[in-house]
Amino acid sequence: MNPNLFQEDIYRLGSLCHFDKQVRQQAIEHVLECIQIAQAVGSDIVSLWLADGTNYPGQDDLRRRRQRLLDSLQTIYAALPAGMRFLIEYKFFEPAFYSTDLPDWGTSLLMAQKLGLQAEVLVDTGHHPLGTNIAQIVAQLLDEGRLGGFHFNDRKYADDDLIVGSLNPFELFCIFNEIVGADVEGNTNAGRIAYMIDQSHNIEPKIEAMIQSVLNVQTAYAKAQLVDRAALRGAQEAGDVLGAYRVLQAAYETDVRPLLAEVRVRQGRNPDPIAAFRASGYAERVARERTAIPTTSGYPGA
């Protein structure tokens, strides 16, 4: 369940961080309603992203904004039922350009630690400055037991929301290498990660692009399973830098597509999900059906 605290004009200067208590209360009540909806539909995760921030120095007091945010989150956290997880997302800029109230994983982690064990961090793979080592962030959060989940996408420049693994598949592999490695070592956090896709579809078919992201994630995960952990540990402890890299390289360069296709066949599925989707005619059928639905706006299919 994903609350929306960024589209209404009242949130132009913030939602949970707003200087006006009435605006903050409206935002809090919206999240509380989302918690109730999550319970009604059987969801056990509420994921929060804020657009809160400032565009200019002096626009607001940064420490007071932080305290208002923490107070708002504590009110929300107190309403969580047992077993429901609260994932705190972050983004280093956009739409705010001077300061962002949840700008990085460390800030989100601090908030989660102040709230309690049901609060964790959500990593959006596109929400980082260029060159950020996301695998290292994942390793840190796993070690703290606070890696709540992912929004998978890819980017060339900023938050492009492209198909995950389409531009930097090795980065995606390295992320899963940390997860699989932690799981092998008995890290309990590695087994409760929520995996989600967050993409913006502009020129590619929407559903096919989502399927491709799933395929890319499965590929990265399968390759990470092939890493020779004993050989990797041995090379690391021997100071064999190139040897350690070559262990990862060997797994990454293995073509796992035939293996994944065989797994799908054994599950009674088509080995090529995108070909199966295209052959189904689902997208065309749904487009026709929705175009035929009359609307009160006077525009068919609006």
Which domains does the chain show, CATH number per domain? 9-226 (3.20.20.150)
pLDDT of residue 201: 85
Dump pLDDT digits (tens) for 112-161: 999 999 999 999 999 999 999 999 999 999 999 999 999 999 999 999 99
pLDDT of residue 296: 59
Dump pLDDT digits (tens) for 106-123: 999 999 999 999 999 999
Give one DSSP letter per residue of 7-20, joined into a string. SSGGGTT-STT-SS
Average confidence (pLDDT) over 47-70: 98
pLDDT of residue 286: 94
pLDDT of residue 246: 98
Burial class of 93 by CB neighbour count within 10 A (0 to 12, 13 to 18, 19+): middle
Confidence of residue 301 (pLDDT cuts 50, 70, 90): very low
pLDDT of residue 293: 77
Dump pLDDT digits (tens) for 245-299: 999 999 999 999 999 999 999 999 999 999 999 999 999 999 999 988 776 555 4
Percentage of the chain beyond pLDDT 70 is 97
Cβ distance 112 to 138 under 8 Å? no
- Indicate the SS3 state at residue 263: helix
Mean pLDDT score of the chain, rounded to an integer? 96
Q: Which of 35, 18, 28 is nearest to 74 (CA)?
A: 28
pLDDT of residue 295: 61
Average confidence (pLDDT) over 24-32: 98
Burial class of 202 by CB neighbour count within 10 A (0 to 12, 13 to 18, 19+): exposed
300 or 54, greater pLDDT: 54
Residue 28: both structure tokens together = 């809090």
